[in-house]
Amino acid sequence: MTRPTSAYLAGIVCLAWGCSGSGDSTQSFTGGSSAAPASPGGGTGASVGAGGSTGGSGGNAVGGGQASLGGQVGSGELTSQGGTPPVGGQPAGGGTPATGGLAATGGSPGSTGGVETGGQATGGQNTGGVETGGQATGGQNTGGVETGGNASGGASTGGSGTGGCEKGTTAGNEVVIIGESFIAMSSIPEHLAETARAEGSLQQNESYIDNSVSGTTLANDQIPSQYRDAQASNDIRFVVMDGGGNDCLQANNPDGALSAAQSLFETMAQDGVEKVQYFFYPDPIGSQYSSLQSCLDTLRPQMQALCEGLTAPKCYWLDLRPVWDGHDEYTSDGIHPTEAGSVATADAIWEAMVANCIAQ
C-alpha cells in the first residue's frame, strides 16, 4: 500500500489532536528371558545366605516376582514382589538385610542410559531398540531408536520436527501491522523488524508491512481497510494489530469496535490468515482520560474474549498494562509511546510472537 503523504498525515494528525476547523476535535489514540525366574511369592521361612542369589542377566520377573538387574546380592531376606512374605525367616549368618541390593558384574540392563517406569525394564520389552538419555513411561520401544526424547506409551517427543516452530520461514511481506497512532506515532514497527532480523526470523533486507495510520478506528472501516489493502497485493499470513482506542476516544463506541473486529477476523479467515497478535492499550495517564479509561475497561474483556475464542485465524491476546505499569516515562502525553515506551512495547510484542510462533 502507498503510505499517506505528509500533508495527508498532517491533516489526520490535526484532526486527531483537535486543530481548529471542521471534524473531530479529540486527540487520536495510541496507537527378554532370564536364567531362573524369581520365586512367585517366596516360601515359608526361606532365607538367602550371605552372598545371595544372582539373577539372570536381563531377565523378566515371572509371576509378579522381583526382576534382578544383573542380579542382586542380599545378605538377608529377599521377598519377591507380589508374593507372600516368608514367615519367621531369619537372615543367614546374622547379616543385615541389604538395602537396594548390589548389581552383580555382568548384568546388562534392557535400556542404555534410559529409565523405564511402568514397563519391563530388564531384558525385555526394548527389543532391538536403543534408548539413550530418554525416559520411557509404560512404553514398549520395540525396534525403535530414541535419542534424548521422552517416550510415553511408545511415542517419542522432544525432538525437532512436526509441531515445531521453524525459524526463517516468513517473508516480510507476509506480515502486516495495522492500527492507529499508538503504532503510527511510535517506532514499534521498526523495533519489531530489527529484533526479527537479529533473531533470524526475517531476512536482513526485509521489514514488515506497516499500514497503521493515526486517527483511525475499527468501526468506520479504516483499520480493516488497512488489512485489505495489504492482502490485495500480498499473501498475508500474520497480522500484528491494535484497535479500538480511537473508537473509545473519539466516539465512546466499544460496541462498534467489537462488531467491526469480528467482521475483520471473518475476512481474515476467508483469506487464510494463520495467526493474529492483538495487543491492547495500557491505561491512559491523566484525569483528562477518565472517559477513555472507562470505555477501554468495557471493551478490553470483550475484545479479549473475541480474540481468544477464534480458531481461524488463531488470535493471541497481549495486555500491555503490566508492561507499562509503573513506567510513566513510557509516554509523554498519557497515551502515546515515547522511544522508551516503543522499545518496551515492541519487546513485549516480540516475546508474545515467539511464544505463539507468529512470523518466525
In a domain, 241, yes or no: yes
Confidence of residue 164 (pLDDT cuts 50, 70, 90): confident
Q: From CA 136, how far away is CA 156, in angstroms rounded?
A: 9
Task: State the pLDDT at residue 221.
Answer: 97
Q: How far apart, in Å, are the Cα atoms of 98 and each of 37, 48, 103, 202, 344? A: 20, 11, 12, 62, 61
At residue 159 the predicted structure's pLDDT band, cuts being 50, 70 and 90, is very low
55 pLDDT tier (thresholds 50, 70, 90): very low
CA distance 236 to 231: 6
Number of domains in the chain: 1
> Average per-residue pLDDT in the chain?
70
Tens of pLDDT, residues 323-340: 999 999 999 999 999 999
More confident residue, 38 or 209: 209
Percent of the chain with pLDDT over 70: 55
Examine the pLDDT at 292 and tell me if it is beyond 60. Answer: yes
Question: In this structure, are residues 171 and 206 in contact, taking their beta carbons and an 8 Å threshold?
Answer: yes
- Strands (DSSP E) found in 67-203: 115-117, 130-132, 135-137, 145-147, 150-152, 155-157, 175-178
The more confidently predicted of residues 244 and 94 is: 244
The band of 52, judged by pLDDT with boundaries at 50, 70 and 90, is very low
- Residue 224 covered by a domain: yes
Q: What is the pLDDT of residue 20?
A: 36
Is residue 279 assigned to a domain?
yes
Write down the pLDDT at residue 29: 60
Residue 217 lies in a domain: yes
* Predicted pLDDT at 133: 39
In a domain, 276, yes or no: yes
- Residue 57 pLDDT exceeds 80: no
> Does a structural domain hold residue 278?
yes
Determine the pLDDT at residue 170: 96
Reported as a single tens digit per residue, the pLDDT across 171-225 is 999 999 999 999 999 999 999 999 999 999 999 999 999 999 999 999 999 999 9
pLDDT category of residue 163 using cuts at 50, 70 and 90: low
Q: Is the pLDDT of residue 38 over 60?
A: no
Name the strands in the sheet holding 115-117, side by side, starting at the edge strand that comes first in the sequence.
115-117, 135-137, 150-152, 155-157
Q: What average pLDDT does the segment 300-327 reach?
A: 98
Q: Is 133 helix (H, G, I), strand (E, B) or coil?
A: coil
Question: Is residue 286 very low, low, confident or very high in pLDDT (cuts 50, 70, 90)?
Answer: very high
Which stretches within the chain are classed as H helix?
6-16, 181-184, 188-198, 222-233, 245-251, 254-271, 290-308, 321-324, 339-355
Q: What is the CATH number of the domain that holds 225?
A: 3.40.50.1110
For residues 360 and 353, is the Cβ–Cβ distance under 8 A? yes
User: Alpha-carbon distance 340 to 56, whole Å?
Assistant: 69
91 domain-assigned? no
pLDDT for residue 7 is more than 50: no
Q: Which amino acid, residue 93?
A: G
- With respect to residue 323, please indicate whether it lies within any of the assigned structural domains: yes
Q: Which domain holds residue 270?
A: 172-355
pLDDT at 242: 98
Give the percent of the chain with pLDDT over 90. 54
DSSP result, 18-40: T-SSSS--SPPPP----SSPPPS
Q: What is the pTM of this model?
A: 0.58
The pLDDT score that the predictor gives to residue 15 is 31
Residue corresponding to grid cell 537479529: 198
Question: What pLDDT digit, counting tens, does each position of 62-74 carry?
Answer: 333 343 333 333 3
Whether the predicted pLDDT of 341 surpasses 50: yes
Position 268 scores a pLDDT of 98
Task: Classify residue 3 by its DSSP letter.
Answer: P
pLDDT digits (tens, 9 = 90+) for 98-146: 344 333 334 343 333 333 333 333 333 333 333 333 333 333 333 333 3
- In terms of phi and psi (left: phi > 0; alpha: psi -120 to 50; beta: otherwise), the region of 320 is alpha
